[in-house]
Amino acid sequence: MASGVKPRVKVPKTASAGDTVTIKTLISHKMESGQRKDDDGNIIPRSIINRFTADFNGQNVIDVTLEPAISTNPYFQFEAIVPESGEFQFTWYDDDGDVYEETKKIEVS
């Protein structure tokens, strides 16, 4: 497992039905591109987050493919419409097979 990986998410706690809310996500990850060489000239193997998804009550909201050129600690900000109270689930997929998850509840009044 890559070290120092920690997902973070900022979602408003409350919203009105049909509101568009801004969601900010960030995962600390070194995003090793696979292009760099170490001191001995050997290629440092690629190790990146290759996919990020967000679901709301089981329905997919966003699905992103990440490429090696994306720099360290990838940050995504996007907007979502919330029709009802529920839970956002965020998932990051690592090259090494690890999956990092984070959930956030939102109250809709």
Partner 1 sequence: MNLKPWMAAAFVGMAGVAIAQDDSTLSIDGEDFVTETAAPAHVENLSTIYSGWRFRTPETQALQEDDFDNPAMIFVDQGMDLFNAVDGAEGKSCASCHKGGPEEFVGLHATMPKVVDGKLIVMEDLINTHRVEVMGAEPWKWSGADMQAMVALIGLQSRGMPMEVAIDGEAAPFWEKGKEIYYTRYGQLELSCSNCHEDNYGNMIRADHLSQGMINGFPTYRLKQAKLISRHNRFRGCIRDTRAETFAEGSDEFKALELYVASRANGLDVETPAVRQ
Q: Which residues bind partner 1 (CB under 8 A)?
A: 4, 6, 8, 10, 24, 26, 28, 71-73, 75
Indicate the residue among 59 and 71 with the shorter CB distance to partner 1. 71
Cβ 107 to partner 1, closest distance in Å?
Answer: 20
Cβ 76 to partner 1, closest distance in Å?
Answer: 12
Indicate the residue among 11 and 82 with the shorter CB distance to partner 1. 11
Cβ 43 to partner 1, closest distance in Å?
Answer: 21
**CA dihedral in degrees (85, 51, 66, 40; nearest 10)?**
140
Long-range contacts of 95-99 (CB under 8 A, 24+ apart): 95/46, 95/47, 95/48, 95/49, 95/50, 96/1, 96/2, 96/47, 98/1, 98/2, 98/5
C-alpha 14: how far from chain center:
21
Cβ 54 to partner 1, closest distance in Å?
Answer: 16
Indicate the residue among 26 and 64 with the shorter CB distance to partner 1. 26
Indicate the residue among 28 and 50 with the shorter CB distance to partner 1. 28
